Amino acid sequence: MSAVAELRLSPAHQAWLAENLLRGSPADALVPLLVGQGVPEALARAEAEAMLRSPVFVGARRVLREGRQHTQVVGLKRAVAREACPAPVVERRPLPSADEFFARYYGPGVPAVFEGAAASWPAVGKWTPAWFAEHYGAVEIEYVAGREADPLYDRHTPQLSHTGRLDAYLALLEAAGETNDLYFVANNHNLERPAFDALWDDLCWPEGILNPTRRQKTASLWIGPAGTVTPLHHDTCNVFFVQIHGRKRFHFAPPTETDLLADAQAMYAGADPEHPERTPGLSIPYARADVGPGDVLFIPVGWWHHVRALDTSISVALAGFTRPNWFDWYRPGSVK
């Protein structure tokens, strides 16, 4: 047996070699790089050849091919979308009929602001922080505080949650001014508390679009000061986002902007649309959409969105559509 055959590449060099061979670099280009790292040439070449023949590598290459085909399809869609619309916009219009909504927005996954679609709902004009304090002040709720000190605050909602009376939270909100430190967020499931049952009477279920019997566990309430920021993420279902009080600003990017996946963790992207300079390698053409009281925003599943409250804000997110809306598999940031 030759001396070379007894030697092995270090695990780190093997992983590097495997990754680059799988990415399509020829062995002839990789061997000199290993040699430059002090690996004997005969060993580098023998390992590369053995790796290319190994059944594990052959299987991995087949799996990788499937991934490449999908990437190619998505990449083409992205290229066409960017070419056709270099500065994307979110359409603004009145609420369409149910048939048009599902055909033009829900099915193809197109976000839209339906201006004034909820303007006649009893909640709009009635729900304000002062009204909540007066009617529901004594209700125990959960809210999040200490967000400013935790860069991963949205992911750490359970750890940052506090329990208290709603009027105490609203007093904190008023005293805080513009801040991202505290928020009454969807994950607290406050809307499911029996004490809030009467709130449902102030919401509506647009005919054929939302199903009122699907309200359990599909609706959430957000109450926060100006300055709250929900970082760039995607949801695992379609959302009918109803702005009740104050204004919010959304930045959107389609699921085909796959560069956002590179640093994604679960449903969160690493990028910040308000600070593109922090991710210099990324160039994402975000669409911006502001919503005010009575506007409804349709957020299609998988669309990246970043949300800033421009004022003290109250919103309701509804996901109980009349069509299937369970896409729990869609968490590309979690793919190993």
Ligand X SMILES: O=C(O)CCC(=O)C(=O)O
43 vs 184, which CB is nearer to ligand X? 184
Whose CB is nearest to ligand X? 230
Q: What residue ranges bind ligand X (CB under 6 A)? A: 222, 228, 230, 235, 239, 241, 248, 299, 305, 307, 315, 317
Q: What is the rounded CA–CA span in Å between residue 244 and residue 247? A: 9
Radius of gyration of the chain (CA): 25
CB of 37 to ligand X, least distance (A): 46
CB of 237 to ligand X, least distance (A): 9
170 vs 318, which CB is nearer to ligand X? 318
31 vs 210, which CB is nearer to ligand X? 210
142 vs 235, which CB is nearer to ligand X? 235
Q: Count CB-CB contacts under 10 A for residue 2.
A: 9
CB of 90 to ligand X, least distance (A): 14
218 vs 315, which CB is nearer to ligand X? 315
CB of 288 to ligand X, least distance (A): 15
31 vs 316, which CB is nearer to ligand X? 316
